[in-house]
Amino acid sequence: MSKTELARFKSVKANQTKYGIGRVIRKQVTAERLLTCITMISLLLLWLIVTELKLFTDVVVPSPQKVLRSFWEIAHNGYKENSLLRHLGDSMIRLLGSFLLVLITAIPLGLISGYNSKIRAIFDPLIEFYRPLPPLAYYTLLVLWMGIDNASKIALLYLAGFAPVYIACMSGVKKIRPDYIRGAYTLGASSRQVFFHVVFPACLPDIFVGLRTALGVAYTTLVAAEMVAAVTGIGWMVLDASKFLKSEVIFVGIFIMGITGVFLDQVIRRIESKVVPWKGQE
């Protein structure tokens, strides 16, 4: 076999392997989506059956029809003199405002702390001290210092989301193989070039994991943030409805928080797939 024929043969085999793997991946994704749809439909049917058989009262488990009617009413008439869009918008302002602060502070500080042991010695003990504390334990202090408006709420969500991103960034730096850094220095790179062209790209997968974790932690803390002196917000709506045993409103709030949480997580995943296309590839 000549060299030309051998090269052509290898090219054909490579294409077959490539498209074969692609076909397998597409089948796997389709199967996973089908399983997800079956799971969601099964849960909905189970919920419907339980409520139709009156196994629980409407106060404990409202029927899907009742929850839909409640959502329709809140969407058109609002809840407690504020529209659903106002409640959702105020919650998103608090959540996304704190998340933006986390982005511009936790990422650089976490990377620098992982890169420099002296910086880590300053900040790491402080973060490790407050990280295990329940948010409500220091929320009262934030209210005393910053008032009852959005500032204290954003600060609480910021502190809740800061630690996961900081730890993820620091851990990402520590996982970098030393020979990568030594190799960059050997090729004549400066400390700044090593940081931005070796350390930062290598830490991107860990950074996005930290961002997704921080978003979830901040969202769970949102309800606690809206407990004190708030009259708007999805978390506040759920808490207010619980005082009057309006379980259908509680379900509406939970579903809205769940759907928006999944949407925001998918946005981060999409950005990650564009910024870190090599993740998961050997």
CA distance linking residue 202 with residue 168, whole number of Å? 12
The answer for 71, left when phi > 0, alpha when psi is -120 to 50, beta otherwise, is alpha
Sign for the pseudo-dihedral over CA of 130, 210, 235, 245: negative
pLDDT for res 60: 84
**3 state SS of 82:** strand
Q: Which two tokens stand for residue 64?
A: 């899907």
**pLDDT exceeds cutoff 60 at 196:** yes
* Whether residues 39 and 117 fall in one domain: no
* Whether residues 215 and 258 fall in one domain: yes
CB 233 within 8 A of CB 222: yes
Mean pLDDT (whole number) for 60-69 = 90
Answer yes or no: is 179 within a domain: yes
pLDDT for res 93: 92
CA distance linking residue 7 with residue 14, whole number of Å? 10
* Whether residues 72 and 46 fall in one domain: no
Answer yes or no: is 281 within a domain: no
**pLDDT exceeds cutoff 60 at 4:** no
* Whether residues 152 and 247 fall in one domain: yes
Mean pLDDT (whole number) for 119-131 = 90
Question: What percent of the chain has a predicted confidence (pLDDT) above 90?
Answer: 37
Domain residues for the domain of 12 are 3-53
Return the CATH number at 93. 1.10.3720.10
* Number of domains forming the structure of the chain: 2
**pLDDT exceeds cutoff 80 at 6:** no
CB 44 within 8 A of CB 64: yes
Mean pLDDT (whole number) for 2-6 = 46
Structure pTM? 0.80
* Whether residues 175 and 44 fall in one domain: no
| Bridge partners for 82 per DSSP | 79
Answer yes or no: is 239 within a domain: yes
Mean pLDDT (whole number) for 241-270 = 91
